[in-house]
Amino acid sequence: MDDYSLIGALLVGLMGAGHCIGMCGGLVGALSANLPKQQTGNALVNQLGYLLSYNSGRIISYALAGALVGASTSALGVLFDADLYLLVLRFIAGVMMIITGLYIAQIWAGVVQIERLGKWLWGYIAPIANRFIPIKNKTHAFIAGGLWGWLPCGLVYSMLTWSVAAGNALDGALIMLAFGLGTLPALLSAGIAASSFSRLVQNRIVRLVSGAALVAFGIQTLYVAIGQLS
């Protein structure tokens, strides 16, 4: 796996703050508003502990999904010509980097349409996840985060295609872990009602620069793949 895959995944998480807050911000806000009453100690520290527990579960669920799809493509690689198979996966990764970059730059939101793919799975998970709301303790917060991490999300599914292209479980998990860590500042800020970070990543210039960087990653990936054809 190229190092820029992890950098790109982290960047998608950071710059996808607006989408993350739209998808999960309301849930995190509701979680924060209905936490068990703190009897002693600092209330903000207590709230942060719950938010970190919730988001740890969510990020681990991303890494698990990345490992699963990475392992599945590794297994399929045994059935097909390895060189051709890796070439196809690299093309997929390059195209998805470009599409995600266009979304981050607010030029084209086609990646959001991918969310439809996960609605059937969420239909089974949602009733279980709802049992842990309201949160009663940090263990509940962690489990709830792990379950709500499977909420249909275009950015998550886009990143999973990178994990597919990674071709093995470890690299697939690392890509999703980097993405999940990138989303952490946005959702922590949503949980503690801080808006400075959200304003920063919504800045037009910041989004264009970040989107352009991802498109450049994608073009480089496609260039390498085309070079392998010759």
Q: Which two tokens stand for residue 20?
A: 């993350």
d(CA 213, CA 179): 15
Contacts (Cβ under 8 Å, ≥6 apart) of 151: 23, 24, 122
Give the pLDDT score at 77: 63
Taking the domains of the chain in order of start, what are their residue ranges? 3-34+43-229
Quote helix, strand, coil % in the chain, to nearest 5. Answer: 80, 0, 20
Mean pLDDT over the full length of the chain: 80
Spatial distance between the Cα atoms of 28 and 36, rounded to a whole number of angstroms: 14
Mean per-residue pLDDT, 214-227: 83
Alpha carbon distance 204, 106 (integer Å): 9
Residue 178 confidence class, pLDDT cut points 50, 70, 90 = very high
Read off the pLDDT band of 24 (50, 70, 90): low
Nearest to 174 by CA among 57, 13, 5: 5
Asked whether the predicted pLDDT for residue 130 surpasses 70, the reply is yes
For the cut 90, the answer to whether the pLDDT of residue 221 exceeds it is no
3-class state of residue 150 by DSSP: coil
Q: What is the C-alpha separation between 50 and 54, in angstroms, rounded?
A: 6
Q: Is the pLDDT of residue 222 over 90?
A: no
Tokens 């030029």, located at residue: 107
The pair of three-digit structure tokens given for residue 19, joined into one six-digit string: 């989408």
Structure confidence at residue 171 as a pLDDT band (50, 70, 90): very high
Rounded CA separation 160/73 (Å) = 12
pLDDT on residue 67: 95
Residue 192 pLDDT > 70 = no
The pTM of the full predicted model, rounded to 2 decimals, is: 0.80
Share of the chain above pLDDT 90, in %: 15
Residue 196's pLDDT is 55
- Residue 39: per-residue pLDDT: 59
**Left, alpha or beta for 167 (phi > 0: left; psi -120 to 50: alpha)?**
left
pLDDT of residue 61: 96
pLDDT mean over 25-34: 65
Q: How many Å apart are CA 211 and CA 10, to the nearest integer?
A: 13
Task: Please give the average per-residue pLDDT across 53-81, as a whole number.
Answer: 85
Residue labelled with tokens 């994608």: 218
